[in-house]
Amino acid sequence: MRTDPQKTVRLFFGPQHPGVTGNMSVELWVEGDEVTKGISRVGYLHRGFEKLMERRLWIQNFPLVCRMCVPETDVNEACYAEALELLAGIDVPVRARWLRALVLELARLGVNLMSLGGQGGTIGLGTAAQWGITYRDFVLDLLEELSGGRIYHMFILPGGVRRDIPSGFFSRVETVLETIEERLPEFDRLLFDNAVFQTRTQGIGVIRPEWVDELGLVGPMARACGFARDVRQDDAYEIYDQLAFDVVTETGGDIFARALVRRRDIALSIDLIRQIMKRTPDGPVAVQLPNLTRWRIPAGEVYAKVESSRGEYGYYVVSDGGLRPRRVHVRGPSYVHGVTLLERMLVGTNIADVSNLMVSLTICPPEIDR
């Protein structure tokens, strides 16, 4: 698209910008307040994750994969562990599968609380942002108790989970869930019942339904357009086929609809966590793995996927029968959402809505850089 240099201002929206989602940048061509062209600039976090994995032992990649997405680290562990288990033919104990689902849902709950608060924060509603972060902190307390780390848990390992839950953990989870549920109505009034929030999000950043298949959109981006797509149901992993739930959908396709999907996802995660806590059986939480320094995984290739808070998240792993992976490719939803979709949606957007739009797409730049 040609731009008139006499009318156009070129703006670098990031990487040092409070409105940008993580370590990335968007180069904007702006006429007045309207964006005429936008290009995603990524690479600020490029550490060569995928290449690094080829040089490390299978187990040594666990501290690495979780760094692929800071807000929701556990999906990476789950994907990588599942890929290794499929390749090595490891049968994971039932209790471990339930505990994995518990951790994944806790992580989803935390990230949805944070991104929903962040949605308010991008248009100046700092109270929502702070409240969202606070509620997420309650969840992080639980994950810290479980794994020892607030952000990087490394709890899900091939063959099961790192250790069993501490005594009385479920009752503490229940207390946190009740606290969050108690506070959410006030949060809803602040955000969804807020006339200015509605004005700033309804009819803004609309994703057309035909783009979903054309661009391969997943997660809340697709579900806010009415597509009931969720790996937890479409291709159930762990124990999700044993849980009763409906995929959350909305029809607006705009920023408000995506925020509403996340809000309903929070309620869904709380419900799923309660179902998991009720039904988690007793038993071992991991199988004995071979000597990890000499662990050779049979040759083969596999694609393992889970539903992250941003949509389908997958790992394609190839083994040549050696001590290290031959190839690991990460399919994070942010690549499509943060590059292809964002660049398309930026055209015609008001400069005031750029940050609003980016947060609604929940772009996680390391997934793009990987």
Partner 1 sequence: MLAQVVLGLATAVGGLAYGLFLGGFSRKMIARIHGRIGPPVTQNYVDLLKLFVKRTSIEHGTMFWLAPMFRITGGLGVLFLVPLIVGRVAVVNFSFAGDLLLVIYFMFFGCLGMALGAGNSGHPHAVMAVTRGLAQMSSYELSFSVVILILAAGLGTLSIDGIVAAQQGGIGHWNMVRYPFATLAAMIAFLGMMMAYPFSVVIAPQEIPIGPPTEYSSRFLSLMMAGRTVFGVAKLLLYMNLFFGGAANWVDFFVKTFLLYMYPIFVSTVFPRFRVEQSVRFFILVPTAIAAIDLIRIMVL
Residues in touch with partner 1 (CB under 8 A): 9, 11, 17-19, 33, 120-127, 130-131, 134, 190, 194, 196-197, 199-200, 350-356
Residue 229's Cβ-side half-sphere holds a number of Cα atoms within 13 Å equal to: 20
Most distant CA pair in the chain: distance in Å? 71
As measured in angstroms, the least distance from the Cβ of 25 to partner 1 is 13
Dihedrals phi, psi of 158, to nearest 5 degrees: -60, 135
Q: Minimum distance from CB of 197 to partner 1 (Å)?
A: 5
Closer residue to partner 1, CB minimum distance, 121 or 220: 121
Other beta carbons less than 10 A from residue 6's beta carbon:
6
HSE-CB for 185 with a 13 A CA cutoff:
2
The answer to whether the beta carbons of residues 289 and 23 sit under 8 Å apart is no
Query: Can you say how many angstroms the Cα of residue 163 is from the centroid of all Cα atoms in its chain?
Result: 24
Handedness of CA 310, 350, 18, 338 (dihedral sign): positive
The per-residue b/e assignment along 211-244, b for 16 or more CB within 10 angstroms, e otherwise, is: bbeebbbbbbbbbbbebebbbbeeeebbbbeebe
Question: With respect to partner 1, which residue has the nearer C-beta, 133 or 318?
Answer: 133
Whole-angstrom distance, CA of residue 210 vs CA of residue 248: 19
Give 19 or 300: the residue with its C-beta nearer to partner 1. 19
Q: Which is nearer to partner 1, 233 or 350 (CB)?
A: 350
Which is closer to partner 1, CB of 129 or CB of 248?
129
User: Please, are residues 333 and 312 in contact by the beta-carbon 8 Å criterion?
Assistant: yes
Least CB distance to partner 1 at residue 10 (A): 8
- What's the min distance (Å) between Cβ of 200 and partner 1? 6
Q: How far is the CB of 284 from partner 1 (least distance, A)?
A: 41
Q: Which is nearer to partner 1, 132 or 366 (CB)?
A: 132
